[in-house]
Amino acid sequence: MMDFSFWDIARNLLIGLQWTLLLSLVAFICGGIAGLLVMLARISDNLTLRVLARGYIELFQGTPLLMQLFMVFFGIALFGVDVSAWLAAATALTLFTSAFLAEIWRGCVESIPRGQWEASASLALGRLEQLRHVVLPQALRIAIAPTVGFSVQVVKGTAVTSIIGFTELTKTGGMLANATFEPFMIYGLVSLGYFILCYPLSLSARHLERRLHAPA
């Protein structure tokens, strides 16, 4: 057994925590951008775009994230392209995130009464202008809770990437547990790390909801 002090363990876990945070941010930001585009395609008047967007969403919602990781990590390698565990993890999580966010946001947009669309159309606003100025501000209030809830799932979902060798918080904890034979302490600290990342998201959601629902 290797001799690790508590601070050695904490330092290594903090490194893993940083990689978990970075991967979560990349997945959520890139997935959010892609998800917005997919959502716009999903509600567009163009039938082809709607069908393609729905197929995209169904594909990534209907298959496990683990399988998507394998397909990216091992599938691209079949074409002679060397894919790092970091790139594979970021790509798979981005695709996974975009599909779920697109469907969450579509539901929020479509929950806005049809009369809001008709009223904005009577002002000679185009469809994108209706979305930007009338529909999206209202949908944003509805979207906060499910979006933040899913962002927490993204953070916890990064743990799956350890299966392809990406050294995030869970992978780091597993290696330390094997080296120190102290799994209870190690995984307790790992759990604390995830809580530290996820709890501020819940607090920020409550703060945003209060601000958006506060009287002007």
Query: Which pLDDT value is given to residue 125?
Result: 67
SS3 content of the chain, % helix, strand, coil (to 5): 85, 0, 15
Query: Which pLDDT value is given to residue 126?
Result: 67
CA–CA gap between residue 6 and residue 102 (Å, rounded): 43
Residue 95: which of 159, 31, 147, 146 has the closest Cα?
31
What's at 54, amino acid-wise? Answer: R
Burial class (CB in 10 A: 0-12, 13-18, 19+), 187: middle
Alpha helix positions (H), 43-166: 47-61, 65-70, 85-110, 114-121, 127-130, 136-157
Residue 158: which of 149, 150, 148, 168 has the closest Cα?
168
State how far the alpha carbon of 195 is from the alpha carbons of 9, 21, 44, 191, in Å: 18, 12, 39, 6
pTM: 0.87
Cα 21–7–167 angle (5° rounding)? 35
Tens-binned pLDDT, residue by residue, of the chain (216 aa): 457 788 999 999 999 999 999 999 999 999 999 999 999 999 888 999 999 999 999 999 999 999 999 999 998 878 888 889 999 999 999 999 999 999 999 998 888 877 666 666 666 666 677 777 677 778 888 888 889 889 999 999 999 999 998 999 999 999 999 988 889 999 999 999 999 999 998 888 777 777 766 654
**The tokens 């990689």 sit on which residue?**
19
> 7 is written with which tokens?
């601070």
In angstroms, what is the C-alpha Rg of the chain? 21
CA–CA gap between residue 205 and residue 149 (Å, rounded): 9
35, 106 Cβ separation under 8 angstroms: no
Question: What's the number of CA atoms in the CB half-sphere (13 Å) around residue 209?
Answer: 13
